[in-house]
């Protein structure tokens, strides 16, 4: 599929260095405990893991932000953190990664932390500290206030929903209003709740299981009429449906229906691939890409990300190498 030349990709990635992205959504801190399990506990039939290494990573909407700054763009996060030690750690991790924290709203609820226990690189347990109740209307008003203050400097707004209670209707409407007021694209990675509340989004990017569950019907990505009907039903300008190992399907407001086949050469771990896709799509659109070019570039990014272990980011150099390799393979 020759919808994005190497020179065009270089131009877009160069322009990305002047882009400012506002990401609104659920923030998480990922903690990994890795070691060896050589015996079973005498207390219960579970392995005893001797922890030899511990590290932290940014998760949820914070991982989207990580992908954006690796592409060379500026990024500010808007979401909630707890008034706890984990909230301080998350803020430090964000600032260390070069991600703006002016949009963080501290609340009296725990910071979402997902701790994974690994033995010989295999996950054997995960435990979560979180509260996924909806934030209150007063708390939502604080988040909307931050969105309104930060949107004037943004070239694109991303909504990244993980069903952790931040993206209530007032916050969604705050994002829509800010994008409309400043004439910038709104790019949405939804979850099941409030699925139909994103009318006017420039790009709406569900995956196939999410869309099937929301519509309660079989998804038909190869049927242009079905895709157009679904796009109109969702009220978005462009519907970008991710299909895992089958790539993507795009239905644009101009009537263009495009199937983007996967470029993944090896699948090691699909964790975080959706975060990478939404980050690349948003940055590319803000840099001047057409929605088809943005989808193709994001498809290359996803193919690279799933070839890495765990949640990972993708560099501009890796993207250009992937495009060049695909061009050579079809020459």
Transcribe 236-275 into DSSP letters.
-SEEEEE-GGG-EEEEETTS-EEEE----S--S--TTHHH
What average pLDDT does the structure give for the chain?
Answer: 92
Q: Using an 8 Å Cβ cutoff, are 238 and 278 in contact?
A: no
Catalytic, out of 74, 155, 189, 275:
275
Alpha-carbon distance 151 to 202, whole Å? 16
pLDDT tens, position by position, 241-276 = 999 888 899 999 999 999 998 876 655 445 678 899
3-class DSSP assignment, residue 96: helix
Mark 31-46 as b/e (b = at least 16 C-beta within 10 Å): bbbbbebeeeeeeeee
pLDDT tens, position by position, 197-248 = 999 999 999 999 999 999 999 999 999 999 999 999 999 999 999 998 888 9
Chain centroid offset of residue 88 CA:
22
- Treating both helix axes as pointing N-terminal to C-terminal, what angle do 208-215 and 224-234 enclose, rounded to 10 degrees? 70
Alpha-carbon distance 37 to 124, whole Å? 10
Q: Which residue has the tokens 């993980």?
A: 162
Interstrand relation of 122-129 and 156-160 (parallel, antiparallel or unpaired): unpaired
Q: Is 161 a catalytic residue?
A: no
State phi, psi for 273 to the nearest 5 degrees: -65, -40
Q: Which residue has the tokens 């929605």?
A: 291
Interstrand relation of 156-160 and 186-189 (parallel, antiparallel or unpaired): parallel
Alpha-carbon distance 105 to 208, whole Å? 32
Task: Look at 174-178, 210-214, 248-252, 305-309 and tell me which has the smallest mean pLDDT.
Answer: 305-309
Farthest CA pair distance, the chain: 65
- pLDDT value for 313: 84
pLDDT tens, position by position, 63-93 = 999 999 999 999 999 999 999 999 999 999 9
3-class DSSP assignment, residue 292: helix
Mean pLDDT, rounded, for 103-129:
94
Mean pLDDT, rounded, for 272-285:
92
- pLDDT value for 147: 98
Alpha-carbon distance 243 to 111, whole Å? 31
């Amino acid at each position: 599929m020759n919808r994005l030349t190497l020179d065009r990709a270089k131009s877009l990635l160069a322009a990305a260095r002047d882009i400012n992205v506002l990401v609104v959504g659920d923030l998480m801190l990922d903690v990994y405990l890795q070691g060896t399990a050589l015996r079973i506990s005498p207390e219960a039939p579970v392995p005893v893991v001797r922890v030899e290494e511990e590290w932290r990573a940014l998760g949820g909407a914070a991982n989207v932000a990580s992908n954006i700054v690796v592409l060379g763009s500026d990024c500010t996060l808007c979401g909630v953190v707890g008034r706890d030690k984990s909230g301080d750690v998350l803020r430090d991790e964000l600032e260390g990664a070069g991600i703006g924290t002016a949009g963080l709203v501290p609340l009296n609820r725990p910071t979402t932390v997902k701790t994974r226990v690994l033995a010989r690189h295999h996950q054997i347990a995960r435990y979560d500290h979180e509260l996924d109740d909806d934030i209150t209307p007063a708390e939502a008003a604080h988040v909307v206030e931050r969105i309104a203050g930060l949107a004037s400097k943004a070239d694109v707004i991303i909504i990244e929903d993980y069903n952790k209670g931040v993206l209530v209707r007032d916050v969604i409407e705050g994002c829509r209003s800010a994008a409309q007021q400043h004439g910038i694209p709104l790019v949405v990675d939804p979850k099941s709740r409030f699925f139909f509340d994103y009318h006017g989004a420039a790009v709406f990017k569900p995956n196939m299981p999410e869309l099937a569950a929301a519509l309660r019907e079989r998804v038909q990505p190869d049927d242009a009429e079905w895709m157009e009907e679904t796009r109109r039903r969702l009220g978005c300008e462009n519907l970008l449906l991710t299909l895992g190992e089958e790539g993507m399907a795009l239905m644009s407001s101009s009537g263009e229906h495009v199937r983007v086949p996967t470029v993944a050469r090896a699948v090691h771990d699909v964790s975080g691939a959706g975060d990478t896709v939404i980050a690349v799509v948003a940055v590319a659109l803000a840099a001047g890409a057409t929605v088809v070019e943005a989808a193709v570039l994001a498809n290359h990014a996803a193919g690279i990300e799933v070839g890495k272990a765990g949640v990972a980011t993708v560099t501009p150099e890796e993207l250009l190498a992937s495009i060049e390799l695909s061009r050579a393979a079809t020459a």
